[in-house]
């Protein structure tokens, strides 16, 4: 089994994964999920044995790199793929000039997952697309 996580221009694969996870599975309205920020973002694609299985989107606005749209197809959850995707996202952010903080909006059920990766919760819980979230941050240490 070979896994690669890398920056990609393959938005069609990223959108297909996000559609499966957010729109089909979690019932997030398409108008919320597919926004106008994709063109300005960096995109990561996780590929397992030649098949796209996970994605994340990075929005850069120094000093913050916002990690969003983190999605792993259901059969690949619990395999370490999400952790590999997040570590790759943090590595890419560390290479961006002026980025000192990673921020994300975590679905509350995933807060523990992000805490294990070095994130801490900030602010109060809020609802996004009817799903409870907490903002989380992690310092970025440039390489």
CA–CA separation, 67 and 90 (whole Å)? 9
CA–CA separation, 139 and 77 (whole Å)? 26
Is 141's pLDDT higher than 90?
no
pLDDT given at position 69: 96
CA–CA separation, 47 and 70 (whole Å)? 14
pLDDT given at position 143: 57
5-50 confidence digits (pLDDT tens) = 999 999 999 999 999 999 999 999 998 998 999 999 999 999 999 9
Q: Model's pTM, two decimal places?
A: 0.95
Burial of 9 (0-12, 13-18, 19+ CB in 10 A): exposed
116 token code pair: 């294990």
67-94 confidence digits (pLDDT tens) = 999 999 999 999 999 999 999 999 999 9
pLDDT given at position 90: 97
CA–CA separation, 133 and 127 (whole Å)? 6
**Which is nearest to 29 in space by CA: 18, 37, 38, 40?**
18
Q: Grade residue 99 by pLDDT with cuts at 50, 70 and 90.
A: very high
Rg for the chain (alpha carbons), in Å? 14
Edge to edge, the sheet with strand 131-139 lists 3-8, 42-48, 51-61, 64-72, 101-107, 131-139, 120-128
């Amino acid at each position: 089994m070979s896994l690669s996580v890398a920056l990609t221009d393959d938005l069609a694969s990223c959108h297909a994964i996000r559609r499966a996870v957010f729109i089909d599975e979690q019932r997030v309205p398409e108008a919320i999920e597919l926004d106008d920020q994709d063109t300005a973002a960096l995109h990561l694609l996780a590929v397992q044995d030649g098949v796209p299985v996970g994605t994340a989107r990075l929005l850069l606005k120094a000093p913050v790199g916002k990690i969003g749209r983190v999605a792993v197809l259901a059969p690949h959850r619990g395999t370490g793929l999400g952790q590999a995707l997040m570590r790759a996202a943090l590595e890419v952010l560390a290479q961006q000039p002026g980025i000192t903080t990673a921020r994300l909006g975590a679905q509350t059920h995933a807060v523990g997952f992000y805490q294990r990766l070095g994130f801490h919760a900030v602010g109060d819980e809020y609802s996004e697309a009817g799903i409870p979230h907490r903002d989380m941050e992690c310092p970025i240490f440039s390489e």
